[in-house]
Amino acid sequence: MGKFVIAPHMRLQEWVAEEKRYFKDEGLDYEFHDVKKSVAAIKTAEELPPEQRSGAYQTFEGQGRACDVSSACHWTVNMAASNGHGRLWGEAYSVTPGGIYVSQDSDIRGPEDLAGVPITVGFQSGSHYSTIQALEPFIERDQIKLHYGGMLFQRLELFIDGEVPAANLFGGPMYFAEQLGYRKIIDTSFMIAAMISDDVQTEDVRKCYRALKRAQADIDLRLEKYKHYYRNEFPPRFRDELDTRTFGPGERIVFDPYTREMFDVTHKWVEDWKIFDESKVGHGTYEESVASPTT
């Protein structure tokens, strides 16, 4: 077995656990991949054609992610695990703040005003599903208009450049938009789950999460000491403007099980909205799809 690979993904916990040597304290034989993110600009507001759409699900479906515990919105991890693209880690999940944002001078004032308005989201990613769930109580299905604008920072760039009227943002990009004065129309907080591959040792995953639990306590206690880590994951274009002192805690890990009920309700909702082609819906059971559930 090779080393356990850990990579941050727009949250603070991995950075803090590495700084404090918590992974080492747990006896984890690991590599920490400190990858600075840089994305190409998308200088068009045209919706990406179907053959170019790619998001969290496509990453699991294709080459996979370059770490042994890879997180994404629980809808996508649920569906990918049901299709045999890894197993959902059943002993914890996360929650991230998010929201649909518009410019200060936008005429959009409430959720109802978003009817028919293109909202840039990531295809089959957290922003995609959470936009639908947030707007369901306010707008008819055929009035929820999604614009598939690429990955997280690509969408942020489109939004800040004024090429789309609204964007669903979360984590660091959400706090950056707030720093710049963009207005939140509605909250879109959502659950995140972790995916592990079949060859990862369960005890290594538990060691990793024990370290993350210690890091979570540090963040809860003295958030201001760790906000600077957001800067590491922003592309160069934005770093000079960042004031991470204004940022919030972002994603928070919940050390409770991802239960059978969560799994089934989530899967049914995605099926009802026909977000996936029938061939990719997946019908793996909870036992087949979820690793080491504690209940």
Q: With beta carbons less than 8 A apart as the criterion, state whether 191 and 94 touch.
A: yes
The predicted structure's pLDDT at residue 284: 85
Q: At CA 291, angle to CA 278 and CA 25, rounded to 5?
A: 140
- For strand 93-96 and strand 190-196, is the pairing parallel, antiparallel, or unpaired? antiparallel
Closest CA to 232 of 10, 6, 1, 4: 10
What is the tens place of the pLDDT at every residue in 240-279? 999 999 999 999 999 999 999 999 999 999 999 998 887 7
Question: Can you say how many angstroms the Cα of residue 17 is from the centroid of all Cα atoms in its chain?
Answer: 19
* Mean pLDDT for the stretch of residues 6-26: 95
Report d(CA 276, CA 266) in Å as an integer: 13
Closest CA to 228 of 12, 5, 51, 7: 12
What is the tens place of the pLDDT at every residue in 18-69? 999 999 999 999 999 876 544 445 445 556 666 666 666 667 666 555 678 8
- For the chain, domains (ranges, CATH) are 4-291 (3.40.190.10)
User: Which amino acid would we find at residue 55?
Assistant: G
Question: Can you say how many angstroms the Cα of residue 192 is from the centroid of all Cα atoms in its chain?
Answer: 6
Residue 280 has pLDDT above 80, yes or no: no
pTM, to two decimals: 0.91
Q: Which residue has the tokens 């957001």?
A: 230
Measured torsion, CA atoms of residues 21, 236, 241, 120, in degrees rounded to the nearest 10: -100
Measured torsion, CA atoms of residues 229, 69, 123, 101, in degrees rounded to the nearest 10: -30
